[in-house]
Structure 1
Amino acid sequence: MTSPSMARRLGLGDAVFLGLGSMIGAGVFAAFAPAVRAAGAGLLPALALAAVVAYCNATSSARLAARYPESGGTYVYGRERLGEFWGYLAGWGFVTGKTASCAAMTLTVLAYAAPGLDRPWRSVAAVVVVAALTGVTYRGVRRSALATRVIVTVTLLVLALAVAATSSGGAAFAVAPFAGFRAGGVLEAAGLLFFAFAGYARLATLGEEVRDPARTIPRAIPLALGITLVVYAVLAVVLLVRLGPAGLAASADPIAAAVSGSPWPWLTPVVRAGAALAALGSLLALLLGVSRTSLAMARDGHLPRFLAVVHPRFGVPHRAELAVGVLVAALAASIDLRGAIGFSSFAVLAYYAVANVAALTLREEEHRAPRVIGAVGLLGCVVLAFSLPWTSVVSGCAVLTLGAVAYGVRRLRH
């Protein structure tokens, strides 16, 4: 039996921690190295550009979330403001892109926790990791929020120790840490780094489970985004100074590599454990967001309707959570990290392009943001999406086209 809504159990603190959990694990430990390979020392302007686009998208999403406090995020906003097809396309982009993000975070967990695993064992470990976190989400959003609080707190403590270690005297610093600036790669790097900021979408997709969403979500999104930007900026500077662009680009675990060359090399295992924990927190928040958007799409018949069921005891879309968990485990066993990040960034930038267009339709009495924010956000999404590696652009366009064709076939049949 389909439940019309879920219990509102999340307050401001819960919402901020869920946003932090989905962003910090994604950016620090997964996206920096691919971005540096594209832009070299242009990592810092690329980070700033990604943050500007993310802020515009976050502002548009927050105003829309206050107007439509339902599960589904931009799927709901596009449907209500632009029409059913655009809502569907946004939801399709979110579900496919963020499923790839979940796989990327699973791979990041394994890269730090068990870097020497062969492919068959890695596949088994991926299934175990995803199954364990799906079990946490199945037990209720409050348990998930509590787990995310613990993970984020430990992660920030570990990162603070890493910064202290790499900034202390006595260790060699990179020569010319900001040499090798590649202006042509800044846009591509910004597109890849957008993957690291996109976690604030979790808050909009959880709109049906937040208390007083009209006040809580518009406050939580910029708070989480601002804290994350400060953390990213500090770590980017520290890593460029310690490793240099070439060293950062070549490292699969840059923070651990920087700490191992510091006066506190004994901290390296702690950093590895903290990285794995941060990626787990990001994966947990991502699983929550994808399952809630899947629930909203299933309610409208765009996904199988048997997914549109809320557990009578735990108050979660348990069938959608299980389906997403199975799909993520299968993807994590078959794709590489950089490909997952690029495809996810393209699909999610398309999702936010719809969000910005929807926000531009808000009237003044609906507490719209200044129109320049939506316009800059829309332009930024389009530019960054088509600045990504060509393989990501082609695969992203193919998947969005497949979704549009599926929508058209369903409309013709019904």
Structure 2
Amino acid sequence: MTTSPGASSQALSRRLGLTDAVGVGLASMLGAGLFVVFAPAAAQAGSLLLVAVVVAGLLATANATSTARLAALYPESGGAYVYGRERLGVKWGHLAGWGFISGKIASCAAMALTIGVHIAPGWSQAVAVVVVLAVLALDLQGIQRSAGVARVIALTVIALVLVFVVVLLTSPPVTADTPPPTPPGSGGVLGVAQAVGFLFFAFAGYARVATLGEEVVEPRRTIPRAVAISLGIVLALYVLISLALTHTLGAGWVAAREAPLAEAAEISAWPWLGPALRVLAVVAAGGALLALTLGVSRTVLAMARDRHLPPSLARLDGPHHLPRRAECVVAGFIIVLVVLVDLRGVIGFSSFCVLVYYAVANASALTLPGSPLLRVVSALGLLGCVAVAVLLPWQSVVTGAVVLAIGAFIGWVRHTTRE
């Protein structure tokens, strides 16, 4: 039975507890980025890769602090779109929502292609399309099943990656070739900043819980705890991975790889870890894609409710009252990008858009009452997001700025004509 817009049943059901929410956050961060971003980040940061990981983690922590405060106050679907709308005005909320949708659709395309490359490199696009359709089918079955899958994937990733780190540190691989030198032109403030931008792609899933605000039980208590737990686990894991890779093989070797974790495992004392990590990369990227499409569709839902997007996308259908139309539209755009995307370029574009999104979130948090320390954290988060965004490779900056400008112009014109 189809529910009509405006009915009381249009409210999403609250079925996610703390364990489910942490699982969604972990699966969002432990996806494609974990297996692909260390190579481009090492190419930019060189021997300062660990510094870039720590800086990215600190920026994510500042963003998470602001996001958790806002999510507790506004436990609705939409994340920074809702926060910007309520604290800064409709125009800024629209910019945040447009940035989230644009950046995360690009992230979804990158995740799908990552799966395709690991399964069948010669047929990566076809495999990616099939994966997107499969994820859509799971999304349409209801969020509880998706959260359960995410939790299992996250635990598996953590366990196997920890084994990989221990093996690499205790039995360093011996390579026949001379270790590649540090990538030319890497390092320095600019190199670290650009590496932070790439690594942000791997960190950015921590706020996925906030975009599912209407479906979380006791959101004022659950959301901040879930964000803090998932982010802390992932930051520790990324630090260990960067230490293991750079200490045993060097930044030059990492920068020259396409799949640094799997390739490092293949030359380790336990070479069977290589194929296992390749399989895990497919599973983890699929789990992250599953969680991310949920978050994007919920932001589409929130913007459609405010008529920044076609109102038909706000319709909830089926026995579980899910935004099936929004989910189908998001999947369609992902499929379009799958056949056009370049992995490194789309990661940069995604990071630029999402950094703008979190800049709006931090600016919104600055308007909240609170201690001076919390205001400093929000201010540093805002400045950090803006700085890292503008220092990304120029292609990502230009493309992202154009896309956001078009979306902002359309949204602001619509807002002005409706006033």
Overall identity of the aligned pairs, in % = 52
Which digits, 9 at most, give the CA deviation of each residue in 1:297-322, with x for residues without a partner?
A: 00010111111012231232111111
- Whether the aligned pair in 1 keeps the contact of 2:25 and 2:230 (CA below 8 Å) is yes
Runs of 4+ in 1 over 4 A off after TM superposition: 173-181
Which digits, 9 at most, give the CA deviation of each residue in 1:185-225, with x for residues without a partner?
A: 01111111111111012111000000000000011101110
Task: Tell me what 1:92 maps to.
Answer: 98
Task: Tell me what 1:191 maps to.
Answer: 197
CA distance in 2, matches of 1:168, 1:338: 31
- Partner SS, residue 13 of structure 2: coil
Which digits, 9 at most, give the CA deviation of each residue in 1:29-80, with x for residues without a partner?
A: 1211111111111111111111111111100000000000000001001101
Answer yes or no: is 1:355 the counterpart of 2:361.
yes
Answer yes or no: is 1:161 the counterpart of 2:159.
no
More divergent stretch after superposition (303-312 vs 177-186): 177-186
Structure 2 residue corresponding to 1:260, chosen from 223, 242, 266: 266
CA gap 1:380/1:177 in 2 versus in 1, 3 angstroms: farther
What do you get for the CA RMSD once the two structures are aligned? 1.9
- Partner SS, residue 15 of structure 2: coil
**Structure 2: stretches of 5+ with no match in the other structure:** none
- Whether the aligned pair in 2 keeps the contact of 1:177 and 1:243 (CA below 8 Å) is no
Answer yes or no: is 1:405 the counterpart of 2:409.
yes
TM-score, normalised relative to structure 1: 0.94
CA gap 1:369/1:207 in 2 versus in 1, 3 angstroms: farther
Tell me by how many angstroms 1:239 deviates: 1.3
- Partner SS, residue 41 of structure 1: helix
- Partner SS, residue 51 of structure 2: helix
Answer yes or no: is 1:235 the counterpart of 2:244.
no
Answer yes or no: is 1:386 the counterpart of 2:390.
yes
CA distance in 1, matches of 2:314, 2:151: 28
CA gap 1:26/1:123 in 2 versus in 1, 3 angstroms: closer
Task: Tell me what 1:82 maps to.
Answer: 88
Structure 2 residue corresponding to 1:21, chosen from 17, 27, 32: 27
How does 1:39-188 map onto structure 2 within 5 Å? 39-114=45-120, 116-117=121-122, 121-169=123-171, 171-172=173-174, 182-183=187-188, 184-188=190-194
Letter aligned with residue 400 of structure 1: L
CA distance in 2, matches of 1:182, 1:265: 31
CA distance in 1, matches of 2:332, 2:410: 22
- Partner SS, residue 272 of structure 2: helix
Task: Tell me what 1:322 maps to.
Answer: 328
Task: Tell me what 2:400 maps to.
Answer: 396
- Give the total of aligned pairs: 408
More divergent stretch after superposition (404-413 vs 191-200): 404-413
**Structure 1: stretches of 5+ with no match in the other structure:** none
Tell me by how many angstroms 1:387 deviates: 0.9
Letter aligned with residue 157 of structure 2: T
- Partner SS, residue 172 of structure 1: coil
Tell me by how many angstroms 1:123 deviates: 2.4
- Whether the aligned pair in 1 keeps the contact of 2:136 and 2:327 (CA below 8 Å) is yes
- Partner SS, residue 388 of structure 1: coil
CA distance in 2, matches of 1:233, 1:178: 22
More divergent stretch after superposition (163-172 vs 220-229): 163-172
- Whether the aligned pair in 2 keeps the contact of 1:349 and 1:381 (CA below 8 Å) is yes
Tell me by how many angstroms 1:368 deviates: 9.2
Answer yes or no: is 1:374 the counterpart of 2:374.
no
How does 1:208-227 map onto structure 2 within 5 Å? 208-227=214-233
- Partner SS, residue 282 of structure 2: helix
Which digits, 9 at most, give the CA deviation of each residue in 1:124-172, with x for residues without a partner?
A: 2111000001111111110000111111122222212322332343732
